[in-house]
Amino acid sequence: MRAFIAFEIPGFVKTYLSRTIVAMSSKTDNVKWVRDEGLHITIKFLGEIDEALGGKIRDELLYLGTRYKPFTMGLDRIDAFPDRKRARVIVVRLKNEVDIISNIFKDIEDNLKKFGFESEKRAFTPHITLGRRKAPLPLLEKAIIKLDEMDFTIDSVVMFKSTLTAKGAIYDPIWKIILGGIDQ
């Protein structure tokens, strides 16, 4: 199965970002926009793994539930990777508790090495992907929507199975680790 580890975001944030995508889509060309069910905060893309390995990864990462408590994130601003002049990926940057997400990312990276996963070469930047382009084009200022102040709680780490279809990827949760275990 094709899999990745992520944080889910609440429905009200997905609904808000879906409306943002609709508003931006009329002002931005050549973007394949993410459907609302595909909005999440990716921590680590795993690629093709078998289900047994998925279970071993869960067992290895269970301690995250007692090490970390639920935390509050906020939407910051629309941006692009690698930058706005060569926008390949249109994203929402996040604010508040970014250090917690970075620590969880580092813990996951360190623990996955024993399964043969290589560490990311790029710096980890917590974000929510809104859309992707095949070729880089500028993300024009007129296309950028100013986001409302919106905070939301992250309360679990999830492994998703990603099934690619002609209409886009379908994401199914495989397991979930709830943050805020009784040992905290």
Which tops the pLDDT comparison, 49 or 166? 49
Tens digit of each residue's pLDDT (9 = 90 or more) over 137-182 = 999 898 999 999 999 999 999 999 998 888 778 899 999 999 997 5
Which conformational region is residue 52 in: left (phi greater than 0), alpha (psi within -120 to 50 degrees), or beta? alpha
Which tops the pLDDT comparison, 170 or 67? 67
Quick check: 95 and 154 in contact, CB under 8 A?
A: no
122 flagged as catalytic: no
107 flagged as catalytic: no
Task: Please name every residue paired with 132 in a beta bridge, in sequence order, or none if there are none.
Answer: 32, 89
Active-site residue, from 90, 94, 108, 127: 127
- Beta-carbon contacts of 165 under 8 Å, excluding residues fewer than 6 positions away, are none
DSSP 127-141: EEEEEEEEEEE---G
The span from the CA of 133 to the CA of 131, in Å, is 7
Tens digit of each residue's pLDDT (9 = 90 or more) over 105-130 = 999 999 999 999 999 888 899 999 99
Active-site residue, from 14, 40, 44, 133: 40
pTM of structure: 0.92
Domains of the chain: 2-178 (3.90.1140.10)
- Predicted pLDDT at 2: 94
